[in-house]
Amino acid sequence: MSEFQLFAVTGNPVLHSKSPGMFNNVFESTNYPAAYTRLAANTAEEAIKIFRSLEFKGLNITAPFKEEIMPLLDEIDPIAELIGGVNTITTNNGTIKGYNTDYFGVLTSINNHLDKIGKKEGNYNCVVIGASGAGKAAAYALMSKGANVTIVNRTIEKAEKAAIKLNCHFAGLEKLPILLPTTDIIILAITQNVNPINSSWLSEKHIVFDANYKSSEFIAMAKTKGCSIIDASDWLLHQGIEAYRHFFNQYPDNTAMRNGLSTYDVQKRSDKIALVGFMGSGKTTVGKKMAKIMDIPFVDTDDLIVEREKKSIPEIFEQQGETYFRKCEKEIIQTIIDTPSRQIISCGGGLAINNENRSLLKQHCLVIWLYATPEATVKRINLESRPLLNVENPLEKAKALLSQRKQFYAQASDIIINTEKFDASITKKIYDEINRIR
């Protein structure tokens, strides 16, 4: 069987992304040794650093990093270069290459919708609102169909710059009341859930498309006006299908990928927040701070085992062995899951190795993988209290253990948070991500 491979989507924020459901559903249906999670980052540079450190095979990029990430790549596909945005990267022998599959997502979605409603190809008038990565990809897709495209943006200089590069028209938001009466297709490609359109400008002749697949005020308004609506999830699905092709040099099972859009609903599992990761990654420190901020109980599986067994962890390892300790972990996590209350759970570094433990966490908890390099974690911990690292060369042992465990952390996790440097921004990052999905 192939070596286990890691994939993720990165952005700021990113916990809302449905991409893990799509890819993991394909992996599970084909029994492929891979996992797809979310990578939280404050900058594209931070995302690339973790991408390299954890040796990811591929990464999808969402707002606001689609343009910011380009200078950090070794190669860029010509279409992505023309669009001026990258939403998919792959690595081959250490060389990272960027692609744009957003345009494919838009183009396929529009073609499918036109077929569905019985419209033919034509020289459509199109307005794309937003001049960042997604907007430019949408404009490129429409122009490849021969459409007459106008990019509209709040900052008109940004719209002008994108239009010059793509050879289309541009305008400021104030021109929308003039443009929309003669427009056939309207695409809203703004990161935030902002609606710059007045309902009086819409009619049943409009075909509308919003890149935002969460709640959309624009789409709600368009429905009341009888507009023909393209589901935003279609954009996500079809760009994901094309990203999969770049990852694996073949297309996925489209049905499995579409079915995955409805899985892994993190909001339903956010009452219990489980922190997984290697020893020294900050699970106890971060967990206690999170519990204080959110005013909910904090529990530590290692502490509960020590309390129950009336022995320290080194004593358990020495007297009863690692197998017995892992048995204790399974029993403790089951007890925690069975407790019907909100909790922050710090999971022992090896807890996620067990299949049943991972399944319990994934079913009942929002799972956060706290990641720091082995070099950082070894400096933080008391080696005498860590039997597995109390060896002649703890750093090499830590690297080997993390190499073995990272696939299990990835399989369990909903999101990766970088804890290389401890400061207040870590807990704020987690808190902000969680709040955005509620």
Q: CATH number for the 266-436 domain, one of 3.30.420.40, 3.40.50.300, 3.30.70.1290, 3.30.43.10? A: 3.40.50.300
The H helix count followed by the E strand count for the chain is 17, 17
Residue boundaries of the structural domains of the chain: 5-100+236-262, 120-230, 266-436
Q: Could you give the 3-state DSSP secondary structure of residue 185?
A: strand
Partners of 229 in the β-ladder: 208
- Architecture label for domain 120-230: 3-Layer(aba) Sandwich (3.40)
Longest dimension (CA), the chain: 79
Ramachandran angles phi, psi of 172, nearest 5°:
-90, 165
Determine which helix (DSSP H) or strand (DSSP E) holds 229, and give its type and residue range.
strand 228-230
Residues whose CB is less than 8 angstroms from the CB of residue 318 and which lie 6 or more positions away in sequence, other chains included: 387
- Domain 5-100+236-262 and domain 120-230, same fold? Reply is yes
Alpha-carbon span 409 to 13, nearest angstrom: 21
pLDDT tens, residue order, the chain (438 aa): 469 999 999 999 999 999 999 999 999 999 999 999 999 999 999 999 999 999 999 999 999 999 999 999 999 999 999 999 999 999 999 999 999 999 999 999 999 999 998 887 778 999 999 999 999 999 999 999 999 999 999 999 999 999 999 999 999 999 999 999 999 999 999 876 788 999 999 999 999 999 887 778 899 999 999 999 999 899 999 999 999 999 999 999 999 999 999 876 788 888 899 999 999 999 999 999 999 999 999 999 999 999 999 999 999 999 999 999 999 999 999 999 998 889 999 999 899 999 999 999 999 999 999 999 999 999 988 888 787 888 889 899 999 999 999 999 999 999 999 999 888 889 999 999 998 887
Stated pTM of the model: 0.94
Alpha-carbon span 266 to 26, nearest angstrom: 19
Task: Give catalytic residue positions.
Answer: 66
pLDDT at residue number 391: 84
Alpha-carbon span 405 to 117, nearest angstrom: 49
List Cα–Cα distances, 182 to 16, 76, 153, in angstroms: 35, 36, 18
Residue 321 Ramachandran class (φ > 0 left, ψ -120 to 50 alpha, else beta): left
* Secondary-structure class of domain 5-100+236-262 per CATH: alpha beta
